Structure formats: C-alpha cells, structure tokens
Amino acid sequence: MSHITIIERREIYEKRLLGVSFYQIAKDLKRPTKTIIAEYKRNKVATHGYEPTRAQEQVDKRKSKPRVLHKFSNPAIKDFVVKALEDDFSPEQISGRIVSETGFKVSHETIYSFVYRDKQEGGQLYKHLRRCHKKRKPRLPKTNKSRIKNSVSITERPKVVDEKSRFGDLELDTVEGKKGSGFFVTIVDKATKKLWARFIPNKTSENTRKAILEMLSGLKIKTLTSDNGSEFACHQEISEELAAKFYFARPYSSWERGLNEHTNGLLRQYFPKKTEFDQEGIEEKLREVVAKINRRPRKSLNFKTPDEAFSLLAEV
C-alpha cells in the first residue's frame, strides 16, 4: 500500500476537527485503522496538535535523513561483518555464519545496506562483492559423441554420488588465462565443496594428469567427473593411480558439473578473464585464493566452511 498523501492528511485533519473517529476515517480512506492512528500520533506537534502541512514537512524531513543501521552500532557485529567482507564472504554467507560466531542475527539485506552506505561515504567494502556475470556464448552444434577414447558416460555413475553424503566424489575442470599464459586445473568435492587448484603452463593431458595426482595424493577418491576436453585423455591412468572410477559429462551439458562451474566462477572473482596466468607469483596467489574460498561458509553446508566439512568427512 502507498504512503499517506498530503490530500489524505488534510482529510484526517478536517474530520478530526469534526470529531470523526479514527475507525471511520480509516474506512473512508480505505486504509487500516492502525495506519491512521500511527500517522496522527507520529506527526502530531505538541504545541499545535495535528496539522496536515506540518505533518507532511516532518515526513519529508525524515525521508531526507539517511537510514540508521542500528545493528552496526554494536562493535561485535560491525567488526565481524567488516572482517568477513574483507575476506570476500558474500552477505548471505555472513548472515548465515554470524549467529554462531557472535550470537546476533543480521539479514543479508542489512549487510548490503551497510556496504552501500560505506561506499557512499568513500569506503571500499563494495569491492569485495561479487559481480560481473559473464555473458553466455553462442551455442555450438551439439553432438552426444565424446572425443575421449574409452570414456565412460556420467549416466553410468552410481546414484549415491548425487546424494553428496560422502567425501571423494570429485568434479574436474580447467580455467583458462589470457591466451598462451596457461591454465588452472580445478577439482571440487561434491559433498564438502572443498576446492583444489593448480597452475599448468599448457593444457596437455600429461600436465593435467600430473597436477591432478599431486593435488589428490594421499586422499581416498571414489569417483571423478570431467567434461570432454582433450586434457583429460589420460583418464585411465588417473583412474588407475587413484583407484577411482572416472566419468565424463555429456557434451554441452555443463549443468551436469554444476558445482565445478560455480566454483570456477568464484575463482574468476580474483582471476578475471584475460588475466596473465604466467605472471610471477601466480602459484602463491592461487594458493591464497583457494585457501580463502575454502574458509568461506556455504549455505549448502548449513554455513560450515568447506574446510570444516572436509575435516568431518575426508578419509586421509
């Protein structure tokens, strides 16, 4: 319902002078009685009572003042939110985590309001929000035939994988830097959302194989699922080394590895498209970013972090 107008305020004033009840005024204006009572009490002036012009002036004055975010007057809340934002938690992740950390509830809408207020005042917190969604590429002609020799389709993968109840069901992919500057091999566990990533200078199947085995050394892996990129042509060797089954999503069906696609998007916050991956210190930066992502609480994990979920489920 819209706000009370100056015309309605004049009608309230005139009818109150005639002794008309709040109930009848509300009925005439087609508004709830409590709305009329609240309007009258809130905008009444002590020395003059209720006057429509003064009431409108008070409303306009309140609107011109910035909204006070009362919860952020509490240092515990403000400190936690600022630190979490600087660690690149999303407002929703902060909202889900803050109760267990501080005992206070703060909605993600309130956190967004805090961030935008900070921006208006010259702050930099907004730079930690995720944005810049990529545009979809035109779809290429589809084929259901995999280019990988001896590949096993995702349709043959055990149903238990989709239950996300155990550690060791992994999705694999690669992330490309600026043309010719290298790639990241990325791995994410479906149950814990734990991420691993490694830089490789070029996308050969041998480089990919070595990176995967180095990252997963000592872990008990059950299944691996990738797209049909030629970098995964060594899947049989990987499967044998890890004693795990290797499956391939159907061509042009990225939603079958939705978690991996989403997690690659989290990496892109730090390594936008056309980033030079062969720059000095890229491996150290990648380790820092992966550690940061694994420390973020996830709604799908009941706001535990991937690291916390991994410590509960992983068999090392």
Q: Which residue, 64, 79, 105, sits at the end of a domain?
A: 64
- Characterize the bridge pairing of strands 195-200 and 183-189: antiparallel
Same domain, yes or no: 208 and 108? no
> Which of 64, 90, 106 is the last residue before a domain boundary?
64
Domain extent, residue 52, equals 6-64
Residue 153 backbone dihedrals phi, psi, to 5 degrees: -70, 150
pTM reported for the whole predicted model: 0.64
Q: Residues 253, 119: one domain?
A: no
Strands 195-200 and 169-176: unpaired
258 is a domain residue: yes
What pLDDT score does 251 carry?
86
Residue type, 82: V
Structure tokens at 214: 């180095």
Indicate if 305 and 164 belong to the same structural domain: yes
* C-alpha span between 156 and 75 (Å, rounded): 54
Structure confidence at residue 129 (pLDDT): 86
One domain for residues 120 and 227: no
pLDDT at 142: 55
pLDDT for position 27: 94
CA–CA dist 131, 41 (Å, integer)? 44
Same domain? 166 vs 272? yes
For the chain, the domain total comes to 3
User: Last residue of some domain: 40, 64, 88?
Assistant: 64
CA Rg, the chain, in Å?
A: 29
How is residue 97 written in tokens? Answer: 């985590």
Query: Angle of helix 22-29 relative to helix 33-42, nearest 10 degrees?
Result: 110
The verdict on 165 and 295 lying in the same domain is: yes
Instruction: Round to whole Å and give the CA distance between 36 and 51.
Output: 14
Residue 149: inside a domain: no
The answer to whether residue 191 sits within a structural domain is yes
Task: Tell me which residue of 226, 207, 208 sits closest to 148, measured CA to CA.
Answer: 226
> According to the model, what pLDDT value does residue 141 have?
56
Residue whose C-alpha is closest to residue 129's, from 67, 173, 81, 96: 81
Give the DSSP letter string of 277-298. Answer: TTSTTHHHHHHHHHHHHHTS-B
Whether 243 is in a domain gets the answer yes
In a domain, 85, yes or no: yes
Answer yes or no: is 148 within a domain. Answer: no
Q: Do 17 and 113 fall within a single domain?
A: no
Q: How far is CA 307 from CA 11, 193, 200, 297, in A?
A: 62, 8, 24, 9
Q: Which of 183, 181, 152, 165 is nearest to 264 (CA)?
A: 183
Tokens 């992330």 belong to residue: 175
Give yes or no: residues 180 and 101 share one domain: no
Same-domain status, 183 and 271: yes
CB 186 within 8 A of CB 196: yes
Nearest of 61, 9, 77 to residue 38 by alpha carbon: 9
Q: Is 71 left (phi over 0), alpha (psi -120 to 50) or beta?
A: alpha
Shared-domain flag, residues 91 and 39: no
Domain-embedded: residue 138: no
SS3 assignment, position 193: coil
One domain, residues 195 and 282? yes
Could you read off the pLDDT tens digit of each residue along the chain, which spans 316 residues? 678 999 999 999 999 999 999 999 999 999 999 999 999 999 888 777 899 888 898 888 877 765 556 788 888 999 999 999 999 999 999 999 999 988 989 999 899 989 988 888 889 999 888 763 343 454 555 555 557 889 999 999 999 999 999 999 999 999 999 999 999 999 999 999 999 999 999 999 999 999 999 999 999 999 999 999 999 999 999 999 999 999 999 888 888 888 988 999 999 999 998 899 999 999 999 999 999 999 999 999 999 999 999 999 876 5
Q: Are residues 225 and 90 in the same domain?
A: no
- CATH number at 252 reads 3.30.420.10
In a domain, 237, yes or no: yes
